[in-house]
């Protein structure tokens, strides 16, 4: 059964652009170049572009799956599988969303520990972020939507800072083009999928959007802007680093930002990392809000109790990840799970719903 939302909690359809884009731009953009170029090397920008294009198709499928009668993931699951099995599927999706939260959460903590405060404990930074997340999520979805504005503005500033590494660019690093096999391109495409995760949270906040059908174009604009931002960052890094060097650099974007020089700022990358917290908070809060929303829809447990419980799980889990290798392994698990969730489960859910409608 669909859940109606009161008018005072709704947001304009225009904000779908900010919600989609800010959900896709997180810690990944600070070092994605190494992973997507592992197999396709200098051709990795091609599968990156294809990945962004296929996400448009998945967004179109989501809007075809959502409607007034079944306006969120829980309602769709109930319609397709029944209440008991539907709730089980909803909980499994909630665990995946929680995995996304943990990955972004732990990755940003790792960045701060490597670049700024190497002796600060994971749980200390994690506790601070958990308190911030609790404050914003408990404030409601409209507050999260307003905060997603910064998830668009600050990544856009990144385009300005990329001017500095471009001054040392060597376009020959992009050649030879189109020399990699379909297998290499597919593996790079699969790795690129992780960058676009976050748009699927619209399955939960769709009821909070006014003029829902009109919001479709803004969702596509948000994904298009994410694709272009990733593409520009990838191309700049590919002409700034040769592939041998790039494969040894975990945070290529931060390495490029490191060369930015101002007379009044000695270490610009420190400012950049801490400002990026405003970008990270948006996907962290929206994902944990989506988890809380799922539990609220299928159980009578108070949302604040659920929120505190989930934040404690994320904090304890993040503290158990001791080093960069384990954090990298977590990112790989999230990337693989997200790939199958997006390209297998969501289209399958669309087909099941269409088949169910034909039978009724």
Res 355 pLDDT > 90? yes
pLDDT of 127 reads 96
Q: How many Å from the N-terminal Cα to the C-terminal Cα in the chain?
A: 16
In DSSP notation, 139-153 reads T-HHHHHHHTTHHHH
> Does position 4 have pLDDT exceeding 80, yes or no?
no
Residue 1 has pLDDT above 60, yes or no: no
Query: Rounded CA gap, 289 and 140, in Å?
Result: 9
**What does each C-alpha distance from 134 to 60, 128, 218, 227, 284 come to in angstroms?**
32, 10, 28, 30, 10
If you search the block for the tokens 């059964």, which residue do you land on?
1
Q: Over the stretch 17-35, which tens digit does the pLDDT of each residue have?
A: 999 999 999 888 898 999 9
Is the model's pLDDT at 135 over the cut of 80? yes
Q: What is the pLDDT of residue 190?
A: 96
Q: Among 36, 28, 29, 52, which residue's Cα sits nearest to residue 243? A: 36
Provide the H-helix boundaries in the chain.
16-24, 33-40, 45-65, 73-81, 83-115, 122-138, 141-147, 150-161, 163-166, 182-192, 202-205, 215-240, 243-246, 252-257, 268-275, 277-298, 303-319, 324-340, 346-359
Tens of pLDDT, residue by residue over 237-272, are 999 999 999 998 889 999 998 888 777 677 778 888
For residues 308-335, one letter each, b for 16 or more C-beta atoms within 10 angstroms of the residue's C-beta and e for the rest, the string is: eebbeebbebbbebeeeeebeebbeebb
- What sign results for the dihedral spanned by CA atoms 158, 163, 168, 170? positive
Residues pairing with 11 in the sheet: 209
Who has greater pLDDT, 275 or 334?
Answer: 334
Q: Is the pLDDT of residue 2 over 70?
A: no
Mean pLDDT of 11-17: 95
């Amino acid at each position: 059964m669909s859940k109606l939302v009161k008018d005072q909690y709704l947001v304009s359809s225009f904000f779908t652009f900010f919600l989609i884009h800010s959900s896709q731009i997180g810690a990944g953009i600070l070092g994605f170049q190494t992973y997507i170029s592992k197999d396709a090397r200098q051709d990795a920008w091609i599968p990156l572009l294809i990945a962004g294009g296929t996400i448009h198709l998945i967004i179109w499928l989501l809007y075809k799956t959502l409607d007034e009668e079944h306006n969120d993931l829980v309602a769709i699951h109930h319609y397709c599988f029944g209440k008991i099995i539907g709730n089980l599927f909803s909980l499994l999706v909630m665990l995946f969303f929680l995995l996304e939260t943990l990955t972004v959460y732990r990755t940003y903590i790792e960045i701060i520990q490597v670049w700024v405060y190497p002796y600060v404990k994971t749980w200390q930074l994690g506790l601070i972020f958990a308190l911030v997340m609790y404050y914003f999520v408990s404030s409601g979805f409209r507050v999260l939507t307003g905060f997603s504005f910064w998830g668009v503005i600050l990544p856009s500033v990144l385009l300005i800072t990329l001017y500095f590494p471009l001054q040392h660019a060597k376009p020959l690093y992009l050649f030879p083009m189109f020399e990699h096999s379909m297998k290499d391109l597919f593996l790079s495409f699969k790795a690129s999928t992780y960058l676009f995760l976050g748009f699927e949270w619209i399955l939960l906040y769709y009821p909070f959007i006014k003029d829902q059908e009109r919001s479709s174009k803004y969702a596509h604009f948000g994904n298009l802007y994410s694709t272009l931002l990733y593409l520009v960052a990838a191309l700049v890094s590919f002409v700034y680093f040769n592939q041998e060097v790039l494969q040894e650099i975990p945070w290529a974007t931060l390495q490029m930002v490191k060369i930015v020089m101002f007379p009044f700022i000695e270490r610009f990358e420190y400012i950049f990392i801490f400002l990026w917290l405003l970008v990270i908070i948006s996907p962290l809060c929206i994902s944990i809000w989506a988890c809380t929303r799922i539990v609220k829809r299928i159980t009578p447990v108070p949302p604040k109790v659920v929120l505190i419980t989930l934040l404690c799980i994320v904090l304890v889990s993040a503290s158990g990840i001791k080093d960069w290798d384990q954090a990298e392994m977590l990112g790989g698990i999230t990337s693989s799970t997200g790939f199958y969730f997006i390209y297998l489960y969501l289209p399958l859910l669309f087909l099941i719903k269409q088949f169910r409608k034909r039978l009724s």
